[in-house]
Structure 1
Amino acid sequence: MSRFSHALKGLENRIVHAPFLILGLILLLTLFFASRIPGLKMYSDFADLLPQGHPYIQLHNQIRDTFGGANVVIVGVTVDDGTIFTNDTLGLIHRLTQGVDSLPGVNHNLVSSLTHRTARKVWLTEQGDINSEPYYDPIKHYYTAAELAQMQNDVRANPRIYGLLVSPDLKSALIKGTLNEGALDYRATFDTLQAMRAAEARDGVTIHATGQPALVGWVYSYLGQIMQIFLYTVLIMLALLVAYFRRFYGVLVPLIGITISSIWGLGIISLLGYNLDPLTLVIPFLISARALSHGIQLVERYYYELPNAASAADAARATFDSLFRPGSLGVVSDAIGILLISLGSIPINTKLAYYASLWSISVIVTVLIAVPLILSLLPRPKPLGARDNVLHRLLPAYGASIAKPRVAAVVLAAAVLAYAGGGYLSSWVQIGESEPGSPLLYADHDYNISSKAINESFPGSEELFVIARTDEKGGLKRPEVLQALENFQKFMLSDPELGGAKGVPDLVKQVNRLMHSDDPRWTQIPSDPAYVGGLLFTYMASSPIPGALKEFLNPEETDANLVFYYKDHKGETIRRATYLLKQWINDPANKVEGLSF
């Protein structure tokens, strides 16, 4: 016997001969972990879903307070008949816009809608002054047919509204709101959003809602059902235990083990300062199921040892001696497998790997040690008696058959072929999402229906941000920089799956046209940086709302946000978009001094 085996055997002997001491220590630790459970919080942290070390995510963290992050609520309003340009529908859109602007944690400067104060008609007066007014005035309440027709024509003339916030067929409108990622409350946001949809529901109008906050909110809404499923599963396992053992010990002792294990696991999560994410609830449940499985094996072995043991304590010691080492090996292998998840770069997986592996390894104490010690202190039960059922006849016959050399060789060969076939088929697996919408929910779910409806009427609900950066303050006003950005937009628009784009070159051209009596020939980028700066100032001054340029560039005019609209975020779509933008950026012919992406 090796020195390690000898030491392990000595440890095992000390454990089984001091049941009160060991169980007392386990009880104290259980009470300690139980005291930590009230501090455990269940919520989703958006940052945990993103690989924080990736350059794209690092850029996202830098610009989210300026240009907005990924937590965007999108509400769509679609009328069955006519257009949205009626008093009732415009009033509905305005109330929904006010509701989105009142969502918990919303960035009020990044709310957009046809009826929002930032959506304005801008024109040049005969005196050369720039005037602006909102398309919709909520104080007015009633618009005549002529006024509604004029509003419709004005919207069609504004490419920043028409197509992006109002659908080309004029039957749908969008309300967008970006949430501050430091103040996210998905549950409150979703509850408010759903209450708003319910309050404004009416015949002839459909109100859709999509976006990351809506998706996470739907997941939260099913927590009750998830808990019901877990409860039903526990009841089924309890019924199976009763049917299998038909003895009090066979039911109670494994449940004691899984209860202790669950308390330790939840206490470990709280002790580490982690949150319990609803998206990962299945993993703790699987660990608990594995703990229950080990407990059942121990009780089964205990009953097997009873007829040959002088006492219940001897049967428990024999059980511990037989199953502690192989059981520990299984638990350790499970824990190592779970810990390997931490090799990824996504924080939610790293946290899961750490606390789940510790939870899993704790099963050695909470089940493999605790259950035999509990059995050793309980009175000797009556023997189960001989069992004669299908499994007890089938399994020995199966074991005897599979142990034959020829049969074993066939089974191993089949396993190798299955492994090779699985490896080949795995090459067909798509990395990333394979369907539009969210795979977390069924295709006919309200969220995916909303996503599909919005994408059918608009360029796309999925936004790709590309940040163009110059190395000097005000560098974005240089004509060659703006021309490069416009060329980049045109190149990206060669992708047939791209629904549209938005950027500062479009804004500069629109304002330049406006300053020249709305002559289409002046829809061009000026050749003078000072003139470009004047156009940007003119646009900013025409809006009574601070931060009119925030969606396009930062205050220092060094960073520009180019937005590209896609209808989904499938893996194929993301890879194609990334390939195209890198292809243009890496082309030496497109290089501009001082400009980077």
Structure 2
Amino acid sequence: MSQGTGWLDRHVTGYAEWLIRWRWAVVAVSLVIALAAAAGGQFLGFSTNYRVFFSPQNPQLQAFESLQRIYVREDNISIVIRPHQGNVFQPGLLRDVRALTEDAWKVPYATRVDSLTNFQNSTAEGDDLAVRDLVPADSPLDAADLVRIREAALAEPLIRDRLIAPDARTLSVNITVTLPLKSETEVPESMAYARRLVDGFRQAHPEVRVALTGSVALNHAFSESAEHDIATLVPLMYGVLLLVMGVLLRSIAGTVATLLVIGLSAASAMGLAGWLGILLTPPSVTAPTIILTLAIADSIHILITMLQNMRRGADKRTALVESLRINFEPVFLTSLTTFIGFLSLNFSDAPPFRDLGNITAIGVAAAWIYSIGFLPALMAILPVRVKQRPIGYAGAMDRLADFVVGRRRAVLAVMVAVVAVLVALVPRIELNDQFVNYFDRSIPFRQDTDFAMEHLSGIYQAQWSLPAPGPGGISDPDYLARVEDFADWLRAHDIVVHVQTITDIFSRLNKNMHGDDPAWYRLPQERDLAAQYLLLFEMSLPYGLDLNNQINVDKSATRIVATLENITTNELRSLDDAAAVWLSENLPSAAGTTASGPFVMFAYIAKRNIEGMLTGTFAAFVLISLTLMAALRSVRLGLISLVPNLVPAFMAFGVWSVLVGQIGLASSVVTATSLGIIVDATVHFLSKYQRARRTSGASAEQAVRYAFSTVGTALWVTTAVLIAGFAVLSLSTFEINASLGQLTALTLFMGIVADFLLLPTLLLLLAGRGGRDSESTLPTVQQAAE
């Protein structure tokens, strides 16, 4: 036996015997520590702001915040209304839409309400400019009035495709909400009031479909999805783990002890997150589910080895001590590599993933402590009965070992071919992150938003703030002409549904001041005249319906808002790049201006996150590799381990390219997190392989068979549990979490395939002739361990 291994075995054996002697005290102290940590759970809360996905250094967030400081900080709630039959120009419906518009001003934090009924329609009355609601309170809404309203609404580019559909069958009431961002109750308060308004309107008009969407609804959907996941996925996870462990372990005591370990680990991690003041978000709220999944691995390895020894005739105490002696080092290493993998999420550009990584890393550390302390102490107390197996019993792992050893070259060739094909498919994947698609179709926000985009207009917007040449410059005819050209350039794109621009107001005012002659619907050609038109119009606007959402205070810039179809983020980035080129060539004062807005931010977040996580994954990869080389005390084995650790992620993405074809924000963290988990199986297999080689002089073939015999069952059991756990996560109503679960489960499956088929064949190949069995027989588990 090597000196290092012997020293560690002696100390672990002494620790195990001490643990059994003081088992009651260890269990009591563990419970006290867990309760103290879990007490912090009372401080946990949910974030209700989509901005939490962006770090303060995110350039798209900085640009958006700058835009909102220039104009007004605004989020919105949009109430979309569509009659089942007929159009919206019905007297009763219009009256109630007007009432709904007036009531919408009472929504908490509402600063503006825009609808068809209160649109500030300007007309000529002799030499005067008249500005009034399109549907005034005293409107008769008779046949002639309805014709007037319809013609004005459908002819007005400011509201067509934004507040009313071109087919006149759908309209919206848009509530601008200025959130102070001082309390997490702001969004729920606004949404609760808006929902009461919508419910009342539905009751009064059962003949219409009413949808509720907008950025505030998006915020609320994030928190509701998180609350739904934590209420459903964690109990479901416990049920799945109970079923899987009961079937695979076939030990009531082992199942109970493991459930307690994972429960204490998750409770400790979430409690410590509360003590640290971490706010939960849809990604980080999955931490308990992931911890429950990961925490089980350490316990499974310790329990399976213990039960195997008992089935071979050892008493419980001896089997428990032996299990700790054999598994202490690999369990520590696997916990350390998983810990490193999740800590690497701190390289993510999205803070929720940093929180997910930190909370899960805490849970992994807690799981290791409970697995080597609380678990064996509890097992020493609980009664354990197992059915002994006859000497010479050959299990499934022994048969698999015979297959791999006997057909090593063929197995290796097939694995290399499969890996090559799957890796070649990876470039087919398209990067796409549409935030509406973050939510399952069962979520009301997703249903309502899909409805709004289908029948009226989307919630995807790109905004540009176009500087003019100096204060008051927005009235400059040359500037206005170039802004109008840019708006027309945007409208020429099929993906653009609507463009809101101040030039439409200038053209309408010019027509109004020329007796509403349609021939004068064009931009004024004199700066002073344009400025006078604008001043006259602004003075006629009621409170709350001014132009501060389109022009800045000193009138040196104007905002253009393009509403887009349900496009991919790749298409939006292409539009942004093309717009930047157009502006630099045609509007010098706006050179360097790029698009902004929530959709723009989400369009770039996956790309930025992938760039950040490349650094994080590389750092984790280097640390894990160095750790394995140091722990295994072998550079050669450390290098061999790199193959089964890296290959599974590429294989999984290759399969994903065929099944799904698109990846988003979740994919950027899968490689880093799964790397730390996949390493677990590699570490356990290599540690058993090396133990047989060093401690009993076994050949490579004997060592491979020993590794399969001693740890093979534990590996496929833990992998099955991990896959089941992440499969539960795939049931999340939040697409990022579901994709994370699906991709990680797929990667773990590829990982166990690589560890069972690729790793042993590589070990045998690189062992060369020295790897072939001599005439000596394969050592038993007990012999190799001694």
**Cα pair distance change 1:397/1:193, threshold 3 Å:** farther
How far is 1:75 from its partner?
Answer: 1.9
2:127 equivalent to 1:131: no
Task: Name the CA distance, whole Å, in 2 between partners of 1:288 and 1:133.
Answer: 61
**Cα pair distance change 1:243/1:354, threshold 3 Å:** closer
How far is 1:24 from its partner?
Answer: 5.9
Instruction: Note the 1:477-516 alignment, pairs <5 A.
Output: 477-516=475-514
How far is 1:307 from its partner?
Answer: 6.8
Instruction: Note the 1:160-175 alignment, pairs <5 A.
Output: 160-175=158-173
**Cα pair distance change 1:433/1:47, threshold 3 Å:** closer
Greater mean deviation of Cα atoms: 256-265 or 304-313: 304-313
Contact 2:229-2:285 within 8 A present in 1 as well: no
Contact 1:479-1:526 within 8 A present in 2 as well: yes
Contact 1:257-1:291 within 8 A present in 2 as well: yes
2:206 equivalent to 1:208: no
Contact 2:583-2:591 within 8 A present in 1 as well: no
Greater mean deviation of Cα atoms: 61-70 or 32-41: 61-70
Task: Name the CA distance, whole Å, in 2 between partners of 1:2 and 1:578.
Answer: 63
How far is 1:469 from its partner?
Answer: 2.4
2:304 equivalent to 1:300: yes
| Secondary structure, aligned partner of 2:373 | helix
Contact 2:234-2:288 within 8 A present in 1 as well: no
> Number of residues paired by the alignment?
581
Contact 1:79-1:206 within 8 A present in 2 as well: yes
How far is 1:189 from its partner?
Answer: 4.2
Structure 2 residue aligned with 1:592? 588
How far is 1:216 from its partner?
Answer: 4.9
| Secondary structure, aligned partner of 1:274 | coil
How far is 1:246 from its partner?
Answer: 4.8
Counterpart selection for 2:403 from 401, 404, 426? 401
Task: Name the CA distance, whole Å, in 2 between partners of 1:546 and 1:207.
Answer: 25
Instruction: Note the 1:346-365 alignment, pairs <5 A.
Output: 346-365=350-369
| Secondary structure, aligned partner of 1:72 | strand
Structure 2 residue aligned with 1:416? 416
| Secondary structure, aligned partner of 1:468 | strand
**Cα pair distance change 1:448/1:24, threshold 3 Å:** closer
**Cα pair distance change 1:490/1:398, threshold 3 Å:** same
Structure 1 residue aligned with 2:769? none
Task: Name the CA distance, whole Å, in 1 between partners of 2:592 and 2:164.
Answer: 33
Greater mean deviation of Cα atoms: 225-234 or 257-266: 225-234
Structure 2 residue aligned with 1:198? 199
**Cα pair distance change 1:174/1:371, threshold 3 Å:** same
How far is 1:187 from its partner?
Answer: 4.0
After superposition, the C-alpha distances for 1:104-150 in whole angstroms (9 at most, x for unaligned) are 443x23x211124xx12222332x33332212344x48633333333
| Secondary structure, aligned partner of 2:420 | helix
AA matched with 1:197: V
Structure 2 residue aligned with 1:29? 33
After superposition, the C-alpha distances for 1:209-260 in whole angstroms (9 at most, x for unaligned) are 2334334545655644763343233124224434444544212211221121
How far is 1:466 from its partner?
Answer: 1.0
Structure 1 residue aligned with 2:631? none
> Identity over aligned residues, as a percent?
17
Structure 2 residue aligned with 1:575? 573
Task: Name the CA distance, whole Å, in 1 between partners of 2:385 and 2:404.
Answer: 31
Contact 2:345-2:354 within 8 A present in 1 as well: yes
AA matched with 1:48: V
AA matched with 1:580: A
Contact 2:463-2:561 within 8 A present in 1 as well: yes
How far is 1:564 from its partner?
Answer: 0.6
**Cα pair distance change 1:437/1:509, threshold 3 Å:** same
How far is 1:42 from its partner?
Answer: 3.0
| Secondary structure, aligned partner of 2:135 | coil
How far is 1:326 from its partner?
Answer: 1.0
Contact 1:480-1:592 within 8 A present in 2 as well: no
TM-score normalised by L of structure 1: 0.86
**Cα pair distance change 1:304/1:193, threshold 3 Å:** same
Contact 1:268-1:359 within 8 A present in 2 as well: no
Structure 2 residue aligned with 1:472? 470
After superposition, the C-alpha distances for 1:332-367 in whole angstroms (9 at most, x for unaligned) are 222222233332312222222222223223322122
AA matched with 2:437: S
Considering only aligned residues, what root-mean-square deviation do their CA atoms show, in Å?
3.3
How far is 1:272 from its partner?
Answer: 2.6
| Runs of 4+ off more than 6 Å | 1-11, 307-311
Instruction: Note the 1:92-131 alignment, pairs <5 A.
Output: 92-98=96-102, 100-106=104-110, 108-109=111-112, 111-116=113-118, 119-126=119-126, 128-131=127-130
Structure 1: unaligned runs, 5 residues or longer: none
| Secondary structure, aligned partner of 2:431 | coil
Task: Name the CA distance, whole Å, in 2 between partners of 1:69 and 1:421.
Answer: 50
How far is 1:300 from its partner?
Answer: 2.3
Contact 2:116-2:171 within 8 A present in 1 as well: yes
Task: Name the CA distance, whole Å, in 2 between partners of 1:149 and 1:468.
Answer: 37
Contact 2:261-2:371 within 8 A present in 1 as well: yes
Contact 2:342-2:361 within 8 A present in 1 as well: yes
After superposition, the C-alpha distances for 1:55-101 in whole angstroms (9 at most, x for unaligned) are 22211112235545684322211123333122211133234434543
**Cα pair distance change 1:312/1:457, threshold 3 Å:** closer
Counterpart selection for 1:542 from 524, 540, 543? 540
Task: Name the CA distance, whole Å, in 2 between partners of 1:470 and 1:423.
Answer: 51
Task: Name the CA distance, whole Å, in 1 between partners of 2:536 and 2:506.
Answer: 10
| Secondary structure, aligned partner of 1:362 | helix
Task: Name the CA distance, whole Å, in 1 between partners of 2:8 and 2:516.
Answer: 88
| Secondary structure, aligned partner of 1:207 | strand
2:275 equivalent to 1:271: yes
| Secondary structure, aligned partner of 1:122 | strand
AA matched with 1:371: L
Structure 2 residue aligned with 1:461? 459
How far is 1:495 from its partner?
Answer: 1.3
**Cα pair distance change 1:471/1:23, threshold 3 Å:** farther
| Secondary structure, aligned partner of 2:440 | coil
Structure 2: unaligned runs, 5 residues or longer: 594-786
| Secondary structure, aligned partner of 1:166 | coil
How far is 1:416 from its partner?
Answer: 2.8
**Cα pair distance change 1:309/1:557, threshold 3 Å:** farther
2:231 equivalent to 1:235: no
Task: Name the CA distance, whole Å, in 2 between partners of 1:409 and 1:491.
Answer: 62
After superposition, the C-alpha distances for 1:541-573 in whole angstroms (9 at most, x for unaligned) are 011224611121111223321111111142233
Structure 1 residue aligned with 2:553? 555
